[in-house]
Amino acid sequence: MTDVTTRMLDAKDTGINRAAKILRDGGLVAFPTETVYGLGADARNGHAIARIFKAKGRPAFNPLIIHIATLEMAEQIAVFSDAAMRLAAAFWPGPLTLVLPLRPDADLSSLVSAGLPTIGIRLPAHPAAQQLLTAFGGPIAAPSANPSGKISPTTAAHVAAGLSGRIDAILDAGACDVGLESTIIGFDPAPTLLRSGGLPHEAIETCLGTRLTIHTTPETPNAPGQLTSHYAPTAPLRLNVKAKRTGELKLGFGPDDDADLNLSPSGDLIEAAANLFHHLHKLDAQNAIAIAIAPIPNIGLGIAINDRLTRAAAPRP
């Protein structure tokens, strides 16, 4: 499927207004958030949502996250518990998705929720995303703007490499700051970590005053990012590697003279998260026989980094 002319739009007023019109007309627009670039469509337009699945090659049973401009808009779409409202007040706008009961009158395409009675919803912090949502005036469904299962995009160039000719436009606002997808929390019935991400779960537990239930990967996803094989480069990955083998490229962390690229020479997990997908893209473009990954501490944002790497290293379907 390469039958669309993909326009590159500058994230200024003219480009944002053009992107909003494309969305209103049923088109697909990739846009930046603080986490990764999302592939947006009008969440109320079933035809437009179907185009997302086609462009990405995404399984239709995998639900999408909707992005909204205000908490008030979110309350018109989903039912908030006290715990959910506490998290929204503390961390929105930001890299947090809440999976909540879908209101019967929400007027969303059933493809967005994959037929589930719940919806993943978030309010992004990126200025360009907020401006686009405000100009559009409605909910935008937006998974990551990459072919399904491949490395998530943190620049407009990453989006173009994977989806040019399949989508209508890319809103370019430079590199994403966080570089990891949003943390996803469900409430069925207790607050549950459905996906680690750009907001450390320890901060969520502190806000709620309770430990999160940790959700195991289901056969049928109830939130994005739960497929066993996901975020994968073309080259196979080896994890927790001290020394690379002949023909491999190495992605380091902390002091590492053996590394071809380093997520953070100083061992900063925030820097590592921001660099993860960008560095994987760069190493994968060099056609290595494999990519060796240095050990990453499994604390804070390291939990989300290791989750992405484990899924990227999983056997391909």
- Pair 43, 139: CB distance under 8 Å: yes
| Helix locations, 110-236, DSSP H | 127-136, 156-163, 201-208
Both tokens assigned to 155: 């620049």
Give the SS3 label for residue 278: helix
Q: Provide the pairing of β-strand 37-42 with 213-214.
A: unpaired
Mark 14-26 as b/e (b = at least 16 C-beta within 10 Å). ebbebbbebbeee
Residue 168 and residue 183: Cα distance in Å, rounded?
A: 28
pLDDT for 1: 46
Nearest 5°: phi and psi at 120? -85, 130
List, in order, residues 6 or more apart from 85 with CB less than 8 Å away.
Answer: none
Residue 123 and residue 85: Cα distance in Å, rounded?
A: 13
Residue 84 and residue 186: Cα distance in Å, rounded?
A: 9
Average pLDDT over residues 22-47: 96
Average pLDDT over residues 65-94: 97
- Pair 188, 213: CB distance under 8 Å: no
For tokens 């069925």, the residue is 188
61, HSE (Cβ side, Cα atoms, 13 Å): 7
* pLDDT tens string 47-78: 899 899 889 886 666 789 999 999 999 999 99
Mean pLDDT for the chain? 90
Q: Judge whether residue 222 has pLDDT over 70.
A: no
Superfamily of chain region 7-214: DHBP synthase (3.90.870.10)
Identity of the residue numbered 254: G
pLDDT for 192: 93
Please name which of 178, 175, 186 lies closest in space to residue 213, comparing C-alpha atoms: 186
Please name which of 240, 179, 170, 248 lies closest in space to residue 8, comparing C-alpha atoms: 170
Band of residue 305 on the pLDDT scale cut at 50, 70, 90: confident
User: Quick check: pTM over 0.75?
Assistant: yes
For tokens 């680690």, the residue is 196
For tokens 């899924």, the residue is 311
List, in order, residues 6 or more apart from 80 with CB less than 8 Å away.
Answer: 74, 88, 98, 100
Residue 300 and residue 317: Cα distance in Å, rounded?
A: 30
- Return the domain boundaries, the chain: 7-214, 237-313
Residue 96 and residue 76: Cα distance in Å, rounded?
A: 18
pLDDT for 218: 53
Q: Judge whether residue 93 has pLDDT over 60.
A: yes
What residues does 121 pair with on adjacent strands? Answer: 66, 98
Residue 246 and residue 129: Cα distance in Å, rounded?
A: 43
Residue 58 and residue 260: Cα distance in Å, rounded?
A: 32
What residues does 144 pair with on adjacent strands? Answer: 38
